[in-house]
Amino acid sequence: MTVQQKIKTLSHFINGIETAGTSGRYSEVYNPTTGEVIAQVPLATRDEVKQAIQLAKSAFPAWKRTSIGKRVEVLHRFRQLLIERQDELIEVICEESGKTKEDAKGEIVRGIESVDMAISAPQMLKGEYSVNVGGNINAFSAKSPLGVVATIAPFNFPVMVPLAITSMAVAVGNAVILKPSERVPISALYLSKLWKEAGLPDGIWTVMNGDKDAVNELLENKEIQAISFVGSTPVAEYIYQTGTKHNKCVAAFGGGKNFMIVMPDANLEQTANAFLGAAFGAASQRCMAISGAIVVGEDIEKRFTEILKEKVLKLKVGPYTDDEVDFGPVITQQSKDTIVRYIDEAITEGANLVTDGRNPKIGETSKGFYLGPTLLNNVTPNMTIFKEEVFGPARIIVGVETLQEAIDLINDHELGNGVTMFTSSGSAARKFLEEIEVGMVGVNVPIPIPVGYHNFGGWKRSKFGEGHMFGPDQARFFTKAKTISERWPDETEDTTSSFAFPSNSDVNK
Amino acid sequence: MTVQQKIKTLSHFINGIETAGTSGRYSEVYNPTTGEVIAQVPLATRDEVKQAIQLAKSAFPAWKRTSIGKRVEVLHRFRQLLIERQDELIEVICEESGKTKEDAKGEIVRGIESVDMAISAPQMLKGEYSVNVGGNINAFSAKSPLGVVATIAPFNFPVMVPLAITSMAVAVGNAVILKPSERVPISALYLSKLWKEAGLPDGIWTVMNGDKDAVNELLENKEIQAISFVGSTPVAEYIYQTGTKHNKCVAAFGGGKNFMIVMPDANLEQTANAFLGAAFGAASQRCMAISGAIVVGEDIEKRFTEILKEKVLKLKVGPYTDDEVDFGPVITQQSKDTIVRYIDEAITEGANLVTDGRNPKIGETSKGFYLGPTLLNNVTPNMTIFKEEVFGPARIIVGVETLQEAIDLINDHELGNGVTMFTSSGSAARKFLEEIEVGMVGVNVPIPIPVGYHNFGGWKRSKFGEGHMFGPDQARFFTKAKTISERWPDETEDTTSSFAFPSNSDVNK
Amino acid sequence: MTVQQKIKTLSHFINGIETAGTSGRYSEVYNPTTGEVIAQVPLATRDEVKQAIQLAKSAFPAWKRTSIGKRVEVLHRFRQLLIERQDELIEVICEESGKTKEDAKGEIVRGIESVDMAISAPQMLKGEYSVNVGGNINAFSAKSPLGVVATIAPFNFPVMVPLAITSMAVAVGNAVILKPSERVPISALYLSKLWKEAGLPDGIWTVMNGDKDAVNELLENKEIQAISFVGSTPVAEYIYQTGTKHNKCVAAFGGGKNFMIVMPDANLEQTANAFLGAAFGAASQRCMAISGAIVVGEDIEKRFTEILKEKVLKLKVGPYTDDEVDFGPVITQQSKDTIVRYIDEAITEGANLVTDGRNPKIGETSKGFYLGPTLLNNVTPNMTIFKEEVFGPARIIVGVETLQEAIDLINDHELGNGVTMFTSSGSAARKFLEEIEVGMVGVNVPIPIPVGYHNFGGWKRSKFGEGHMFGPDQARFFTKAKTISERWPDETEDTTSSFAFPSNSDVNK
Amino acid sequence: MTVQQKIKTLSHFINGIETAGTSGRYSEVYNPTTGEVIAQVPLATRDEVKQAIQLAKSAFPAWKRTSIGKRVEVLHRFRQLLIERQDELIEVICEESGKTKEDAKGEIVRGIESVDMAISAPQMLKGEYSVNVGGNINAFSAKSPLGVVATIAPFNFPVMVPLAITSMAVAVGNAVILKPSERVPISALYLSKLWKEAGLPDGIWTVMNGDKDAVNELLENKEIQAISFVGSTPVAEYIYQTGTKHNKCVAAFGGGKNFMIVMPDANLEQTANAFLGAAFGAASQRCMAISGAIVVGEDIEKRFTEILKEKVLKLKVGPYTDDEVDFGPVITQQSKDTIVRYIDEAITEGANLVTDGRNPKIGETSKGFYLGPTLLNNVTPNMTIFKEEVFGPARIIVGVETLQEAIDLINDHELGNGVTMFTSSGSAARKFLEEIEVGMVGVNVPIPIPVGYHNFGGWKRSKFGEGHMFGPDQARFFTKAKTISERWPDETEDTTSSFAFPSNSDVNK
């Protein structure tokens, strides 16, 4: 069997049907664990995207008119299918992303949290009703879906992010176009089958594979009412500016530089364990991964570095087929190269290499895109590795003298996605919670990702727009409201014209 | 006394102080009732705006740290001052806007509704708290103000719109820069005095007078976190696209073409009375004014036109000093000329002039910018006067055969601000409420503006962005939230690292 | 095989185990379709109830500490089991209650709506969080379950009511003791198996069969924190007064006399169809069944009665094994006798028998407790059949002259559970909605039962206490909240004592 | 001038008029500072109460129909009057209650917080609106006031409690009957004048002075829809049981035994200052007063006692006319005697007298009801002074070894009103917040009373019923909701009858 034979040609999922691409352009999908190409994914033309949007638009009115209860019933069945097919889905995720099985399972469970949030759509869709706001008028608000909405997903969570940015959109009555990452399209297509099996009408969930052409059509097409994006900050900014230039509502989630502040009163052993998983899990390819530690106190920094070093050296990198492995490869060879460049540059700029993951042993016998865990200390805020998001297992340690210094460092950073602090002091935690300029904050929690029924969203250049990814505010992003003032006068009532501006108060006794 | 002597030179209001402009550039402020210049308002340079923003930024942290209760107390006092100084304020509004005293009073009362909404900030600022979302983590959200925010107001409500777009912003802890319309700056400056007297700290409320230079500085300055705008659709679109290009959150409210659907079962006498005030009040210079009637049934259209004609001919136009007057002049001579051009063009395009307000008698003896009430029928959807917002007393009547036709006409219009229907049929109202693609909807209500504690906002090209002008959603626009995950482990607790993605559910039994 | 052999001896369900009764006292469970005894259910002693409560109390703390996510996961599995075992459950319901299969299925689906509401517990359990309410204090509320709660269910919905009054209680963390009706214990025991299979810990769901002894123990035992009851008004009143005498929170749902107002402008054919199903479905054994029509207009009353009569005569009564049957028997022979007495008395008092269901043909060949549909007109408010809830297929028609008269009749009735109106007039509906003193109100809806995510509860003597049966307020009934004021001062802060009452406002400038 | 001449005869306030009592029975009102009688208050007969209720009932419908905006406007004016007349009101409070001016002012400010909460009634009165819950039905809820409601207030906050239990009731549209304490009726009557001046319609706010007769009429009269009570636990229990026996909704707030846990890591100096004001302020006559300290650690207990002793000995007791005074007399001679008996009994039971306030020096020269600050340590849980609420300046110190022990002591107490902890440890606070069985909880806060926009209410025997005194839940207590299901079918629609139970879900694909 030749490589040629093994490569599967993927399709789009349009109007309930797996539809072959017509552009003749493809992108290769790798198994990062082996470095081999496993499939080719079609890259849609703008015309293909246009047609898919039209089909979604046609499907929308009937779905909108479907009662909330029946829409949610589809989500219940979809949820059940996600649980029943979990093992198959884990295999799909692992193969195209390289993450460990345990991690893939964690992502599915977390994705189901988004489905659960969407299942509460009947609560989320409630408007407000006021009796007699004046002049026998009742005032109330009625929520509607937007129409066709687009969501653009990254490679690092092949299942969780698509579920997070589409489940609520579907539940509240929209038709969704998902453009998954061209690195991990197979998971998205797998989800399509589950949606169909769950009874979602054709046209309500569409997968369009593609690159910048497809993205630009979604950003510019006037039938698209709203855009959700998850990815790096520069692309998020592009999406926000381009989508809003076409008058759309846009929620664009960018990168993070998520620090863990380690206070002198923290239990260093517990904290180091927390750091390890949160920093290196999934080969650090998470927007919520801990990027580095900011340790308060010179001595503490030394001791914490030592403890960490010892633990890092014991970490095991390898293929997801090995259950003992702590994390797998990064997504592509280019990604690996970029991360190594960050490490090299940091060393040049004066950082100290505590552990060196640039040439992991496993790499010698595998074409997989492996990197071992790299830890650098003596890192300063002017270094590139401090300033930029590094999407791979190179993590940093920064020493400071005071909590205030730690807070200032973080607040001066252009990103504000996540942050956490380890401490036993109530007042240190209070100062931190109050002053830190970051959207998702933890106290003694390794990864400060909110539970699915709370809002997910960073501050500063980590999020553009008002939307949220999980939580109750997400329902708001995918709906609009009519505010209605209703009056039913007696028809024999005598009336005159009022030329003054109407109001219902009476501030003059 | 020469004209020169009568003209007052106005200032800005920066950091609690009336501050003279330094640009040397001024715009003339007219009394539309007499056509005379009453003041000149300075047009700020970008540097002046920059400096004002810096002062606002400096004032922000202390205001943010002020407890909600104390902030709201300032609003209570401000509210009380608005009531006590009402007569003076009415005089100021009438002089620079030309509206009747009764209308000016209505606008103040309505503005106070915004202050009342802002007074409920303690409710609006509540986050959510969940106990033990898993792993002994408590998750909660804490809301914060944004920082310095800008609001840009139109001429037609010199007091109500500034209150509507700043009161909540102030209450939740922001520092606000208001750029009022250069046509009506005196009211905004008057409000400044009341804020100061109410105890608002210097720098939290700023009035920057200016033109496009000032606006562009607000749109581009990176210290401005959010922008609210109220005005015409083309400018709203510019504000939205430019503000979001600089990564800000923007709520831009544009124009309306607000129709009244008249059903065959409506009481035509009641409906005509409702139409008159809603259509011609304030010389039709309201974004919520009724722009025209869409009458269902040929006979009904004829009868309704006749009833209206008779009533329109009795309307009285004149100066606000005359209490008998129904409405006053339009804001400027240019505005008057534009409206006349719309009427002329409509006639050319085939519309029929039912009443002609182009040369009102009052105009003969006054230099004021008067127009009488103009009513046109035989209007069709392809005419300019149907398609565009006309900001003056030229209103139209369109006849259709069915309710569906009426709904379709409105849904095909690019604007979607307000709409109302007069009927006695429950099922006609239900169909209308469900199918109409407009943000603010009335049933048997002349002007479908929501009461202040419900959200204000149009659909389609009548609003850009997610924000609202009144109502609970406005508080959301002016705040951001941290989502916090907090855990306080026993320090002797034994821990290991978890490399899988964290979730708090357990879908596997 | 003798009857003796066929009778199954039922048990309780205590601490996860089917537990035989020890009192030696039993109640017979009939199949109303055949009139035969199918089982005997043990009647618990007060000591048995006490022991079950103790076991529930022991199970409570661990369930309370279980994270919301994990608790809800059990409900998801329980929901899935309800769907998978639906056919079996329908059979159980039909056999012990006599209702039709379609009706049994409707009740299960409706019961699942309660489970769905309970699945949204993570939203329902959210408290509120306020930052810096003054003096650097953060104030927030944290919700807790109550402990052991008791619910007492009626015979008419063997599955829906138990689900409605326990699902949320379980989801928010309580341990529930259910005392089902001794007429229909088998369904409740069937649910017990599903809960266990779904993974609910032992002791969290208990079924105690019994009579007044069991009820009194639940009402008086100090470990029971709250009581929900559904049944007739006299018993509801007893439960409320006795439970509150023991300082418990009680929500006691009583009976209804739910009228349908028929307006002259209603479509009489549509309305008669609506009346038929809503009035006679389930042999009228629903607290939300339509008890009678109040028809506005003498002519209308005549025509409506004629239309109804014709339709009623075509109704088919019979066993649930016949899919063509419209409704089945009533629950017991005593119940049948009571209903016949109501009809006899009404005739004596002057009512006119439109159709007579006292001796249905099916009764001749069956020992089942059958009654045909009885319709009476010329009914007046002073007749017993107007004043009291009749729990069987005897329905009344009352003629009035005006809507006001209809509203007054209903408002003067001591019960205020449900009511509906059929009309095409918006203003009639508005008047009705505003003035009617009834908790659940319909417009052009046959049975005005709210959807599961809105609150269920009558007014006047139809409900005692503040609780609700479905909807968001139910979660409130089964929880209590701590309000927490938290401050973390700098430890070096200088303090003095304040002897004045603390407040966080500052009304004095 | 004789005593006879000085004593003013007070009246009731019925239907907007000061109305003399007709029973001939009076209770004497003292000035606790001087021990002299200053007024006599009439004690109403049941007939007088009945008549007042009828007048309130007559006034209710018009107030209910008044739009929310206009109702709230009255509250705004009332609020303004409370601020303007503050000095006069302080004098009234001090004279009849004996509290210091600063404390009286604090109570007024706090009372205004209740008015502020009531001003947000437009938010609180919003129901929920759902579009198309199935079958083209819209479901929504509309809130109504209850009718005539009664509130019964204690002596210790002559203004704050009446405002707290009536402002929201009035704002949401009820007619309120207040029975103030016969010790402090003058403040309640003063409030009546302000309400009238603010424009509240006659009959909406009634003051009925009286004793058990008046209370029983309120509890039993069927026109009273709900009862709020604040006072001691035995009376609260009586009110709850009697009111609910008459099928009313009752919220009865009883006493507290509010402990301050002092952790070894607390700053003892700060903590002692906090204790002093919270424990002895207002002569300890507050249901939220700190009753005692539970100190963790034997050494800590010793040091804390020493620090406290030194500070207590410096406290100054005396008349409110002296601005230097820390607290004033208790309310009556009987009250003074009762408190002395508690101290005597504690000493007999083995408690150690740290400071003895039984014979304060000021008492020698005054007939006022003075007690100095008494502090007892070596107190154990079996002593009466530990078990019962002492409403006067006798406070206790209990030593324990562990936090768990402190929590258990409090959880085993029958009262659960308030509690606070002083600590610097995040994990101690977390354990405390989670495990403590008390309704209002503080961390490093002297008096854990929630801010006015959060709910006030204790647990266990400190509150009977579901209602709250401040906060959003209070609005719920004073309203009821209709749940409405509305449908507007096309009249030509073809229909059939459905005999199955209606539901809007579709769990079967």
Query: Are both B246 and B306 inside the same structural domain?
Result: no
B72 and chain D in contact, CB less than 8 A = yes
Considering only CB atoms, D450 lies closest to which of C466, C483, C491, namely: C483
Question: What pTM value is reported for the model?
Answer: 0.96
Helix (H, G, I), strand (E, B) or coil at A323: coil
- pLDDT for A491 equals 67
Answer whether D454 sits within 8 Å of C137, measured CB to CB: no
> CA D369 → CA B379, D80, D333, D372, distances in Å?
85, 34, 6, 10
Distance CA D187, CA B1 (A): 60
Confidence band for B1, pLDDT divided at 50, 70 and 90: very low
The stretch B242-270 carries a mean pLDDT of 97
Catalytic residue (choose from D287, D288, D362, D410): D287
Contact: C281, D501; criterion CB under 8 Å: yes
Given pLDDT bands bounded at 50, 70 and 90, which one contains residue A509?
very low
**Which among B327, B449, B464 has CB closest to A499?**
B327
Contact (Cβ atoms closer than 8 angstroms) between residue A505 and residue D119: no
What is the tens place of the pLDDT at every residue in A241-298? 999 999 999 999 999 999 999 999 999 999 999 999 999 999 999 999 999 999 999 9
Is the minimum CB–CB distance between C488 and chain A shorter than 8 Å? Answer: yes
**Which residue of C140, C498, C505 is in closest CB contact with D277?**
C498
How far is the C-alpha of D130 from the C-alpha of D141, rounded, in Å?
9
pLDDT in tens, C132-174: 999 999 999 999 999 999 999 999 999 999 999 999 999 999 9
Partner residue opposite C134 with nearest CB, options B67, B76, B503 = B67
C321: left (phi over 0), alpha (psi -120 to 50) or beta: alpha
Residues of A in contact with B443 (CB under 8 A): 484-488
D87 and D208, same domain (yes or no): yes
Q: What average pLDDT does the segment B363-368 reach? A: 78
Instruction: Let me know the angle formed at the C-alpha of C161 by C142 and C98, rounded to the nearest 5 degrees.
Output: 170
> At which residue do the structure tokens 């209505």 appear?
B106
Q: Which residues contact D408 (CB under 8 A, 6 or more apart)?
A: none
**End position of a domain, from candidates B450, B473, B504:** B450
Q: What is the pLDDT of residue D5?
A: 55
- Percentage of chain C surpassing pLDDT 70? 97
Query: In this predicted structure, what is the pLDDT of residue D508?
Result: 46
The pair of structure tokens assigned to B486 is 């907090």
CATH number for the domain harbouring residue A367: 3.40.309.10
Place of tokens 């923003």: B53
Query: What is the pLDDT of chain D when averaged over all its residues?
Result: 95
pLDDT at position A505 over 80 = no
Exposure class string for C413-427: b at 16+ Cβ within 10 A, else e? bebbbbbbbbbbbbb
**pLDDT for A175-198, tens place per residue?**
999 999 999 999 999 999 999 999
Picking from D42, D8, D9, D11, the residue whose alpha carbon sits closest to that of residue D24 is D42
**Domain of A361?**
258-451
Segment D124-145 mean pLDDT: 96
Give the tens place of pLDDT for each residue, D251-281. 999 999 999 999 999 999 999 999 999 999 9
What is the Cα–Cα distance from D61 to C415, expressed in whole angstroms? Answer: 21
Backbone angles phi, psi at C293, to 5 degrees: -105, 140
The tens digit of pLDDT for each residue in C394-437 reads 999 999 999 999 999 999 999 999 999 999 999 999 999 999 99
The Cα of C7 is separated from the nearest Cα of chain D by a number of Å equal to 29
> With an 8 Å Cβ cutoff, is A193 touching chain C?
no
Residue C507, pLDDT above cutoff 70: no
**Alpha carbons B162 and A416: distance in angstroms, whole number:** 32
For residues D134-147, average pLDDT? 96
Which tokens sit at D441? 């909880």
pLDDT digits (tens, 9 = 90+) for C169-210: 999 999 999 999 999 999 999 999 999 999 999 999 999 999
Q: What percent of chain B has pLDDT over 70?
A: 97
By CB atoms closer than 10 A (0-12, 13-18, 19+), residue A41 is buried
D225, D293: one domain? no
CA of C472 vs chain A CAs: smallest distance (Å): 9
Q: Would you place residue D498 in the very low, low, confident or very high pLDDT band (cuts 50, 70, 90)?
A: confident
Chain C residues with CB under 8 Å of A120 CB are: 119-120, 122-123
Looking at the predicted complex, does its ipTM rise above 0.85? yes
**pLDDT (tens digit, 9 = 90+) per residue, D428-443?**
999 999 999 999 999 9
Q: Which of A70, A73, A134 sits opposite D69 (nearest CB)?
A: A134
- Note whether B265 and B397 are same-domain residues: yes
- List the 80-119 stretch of A: residues with Cβ below 8 A of C: 80, 113, 116, 119
Give a yes or no: residue D134 inside a domain: no
Question: Residue A361: which pLDDT band, with cuts at 50, 70 and 90?
Answer: confident
Q: What percent of chain D has a predicted confidence (pLDDT) above 90?
A: 92
pLDDT tens by residue, B317-328? 999 999 999 999
The pLDDT tens digits for B302-316 are: 999 999 999 999 999
Query: Which C residues, 114 through 173, put their C-beta within 8 Å of a C-beta on chain D?
Result: 116, 128, 130, 133-134, 137, 139-142, 157, 160
pLDDT category, A385, cuts 50, 70, 90?
very high
Q: Is D134 left (phi over 0), alpha (psi -120 to 50) or beta?
A: left
d(CA D436, CA D421): 11
**A223-243 pLDDT, tens per residue?**
999 999 999 999 999 999 999
* Residue A99, phi then psi, degrees to nearest 5: -75, 165
Out of A403, A430, A451, a domain closes at A451
CA distances from C12 to B113, C19, C158, D41 (A): 60, 5, 16, 60
Residue B328's pLDDT is 97
The pLDDT value given to residue A42 = 98
B-D contacts (CB, under 8 Å):
52
Mean pLDDT of B251-258: 97
Q: Which of C55, C194, C235, C287 is catalytic?
A: C287
Does residue B497 fall inside a structural domain? no
Residue A456 forms part of a structural domain: no
Taking an 8 Å cut-off on Cβ atoms, the answer to whether D427 and B490 are in contact is yes
Q: Is residue A141, in this structure, part of any structural domain at all?
A: yes
Count of beta carbons in the 10 Å neighbourhood of residue B145:
22
pLDDT higher than threshold 60 for residue B149: yes
Give the pLDDT band (50/70/90) at residue C447: very high
Q: Are strands D463-464 and D249-253 parallel, antiparallel or unpaired?
A: antiparallel
Q: Cβ distance C420 to C261 under 8 Å?
A: yes
Over residues B475-488, the pLDDT tens digits come to: 999 999 999 999 99
Say whether both D273 and D365 belong to one domain. yes
Q: What pLDDT sits at residue B508?
A: 46
What integer pLDDT is reported at residue A496 of this predicted model? 80
Looking at residue A363, its pLDDT comes to 63
Minimal-distance CA residue of chain A relative to D128: A128
Q: What share of chain B has pLDDT > 90, as a percent?
A: 92
- A129 contacts D504? CB cut-off 8 A: no
The reported pLDDT for the residue numbered D1 is 39
Mean pLDDT of A200-218: 98
pLDDT of residue C365: 73
Residue C262: partners with Cβ closer than 8 Å, 6 or more residues away: C268, C271, C293, C294, C295, C296, C300, C304, C421, C422
pLDDT single digits (tens) A404-455 = 999 999 999 999 999 999 999 999 999 999 999 999 999 999 999 999 999 9
- Whole-number mean pLDDT of chain C? 95
Do A289 and A406 reside in the same domain of the chain?
A: yes
What is the distance in angstroms between the Cα of C43 and the nearest Cα belonging to chain B?
35
In total, chain D counts a number of residues equal to 509
Q: What does each C-alpha distance from D283 to B259, C499, D99, D279, D293 come to in angstroms? A: 67, 9, 8, 8, 17
Please report whether residue C497 resides in a domain: no
D133 assigned to some structural domain: no
Residue B504 has pLDDT above 70, yes or no: no
User: At A460, which helix (H) or strand (E)?
Assistant: strand A459-460
Q: Are C414 and C460 in contact (CB under 8 A)?
A: yes
Question: In whole angstroms, what is the distance from residue A340 CA to residue A360 CA?
Answer: 12
By the CB < 8 Å criterion, does A70 face chain D?
yes
Tokens found for residue A217: 């059509």
Q: What is the pLDDT of residue D509?
A: 42
Residue C298 shares a structural domain with residue C171? no
Give a yes or no: residue C28 inside a domain. yes
pLDDT score recorded for residue D504:
56
Indicate which CATH number applies to the domain containing D184.
3.40.605.10
Same domain, B324 and B403: yes
Q: According to the model, what pLDDT value does residue A504 have?
A: 55
Please say if B287 is a catalytic residue. Answer: yes
Q: What are phi and psi of D479, to 5 degrees?
A: -135, 165
Q: What is the rounded distance in angstroms from the CA atom of residue A315 to the CA atom of residue A312?
A: 5
Interface of D with C in 434-463 (CB under 8 A): 436, 438-457, 459, 461
Please tell me the predicted confidence (pLDDT) of residue D453. 95
> How many Cβ contacts (< 8 angstroms) between chains A and B?
307
Same domain, A106 and A43: yes
Our count of domains for chain C comes to 2
pLDDT (tens digit, 9 = 90+) per residue, C18-30? 999 999 999 999 9
**The predicted structure's pLDDT at residue C185:** 98
Q: How many CB atoms lie within 10 A of CB B366?
A: 16
User: Do A324 and A391 fall into the same domain?
Assistant: yes
Regarding whether D301 and D246 lie in a shared domain, the answer is no
CB B289 within 8 A of CB B279: yes
Please list the helix, strand and coil fractions of chain B in percent, rounded to the nearest 5, in that order. Answer: 40, 20, 40
Residue D440 Cα distances to B166, C139, C504, angstroms: 35, 10, 17
- In this structure, the answer to whether residues C106 and C207 fall within a common structural domain is yes
Residue B509 within a domain: no
A467 pLDDT band, cuts 50/70/90, is confident
Q: How far apart are CA D373 and CA D389, in angstroms?
A: 16
Question: What's the CA gap between B162 and B177, in Å, rounded?
Answer: 10
Q: Is the pLDDT of residue C501 over 90?
A: no
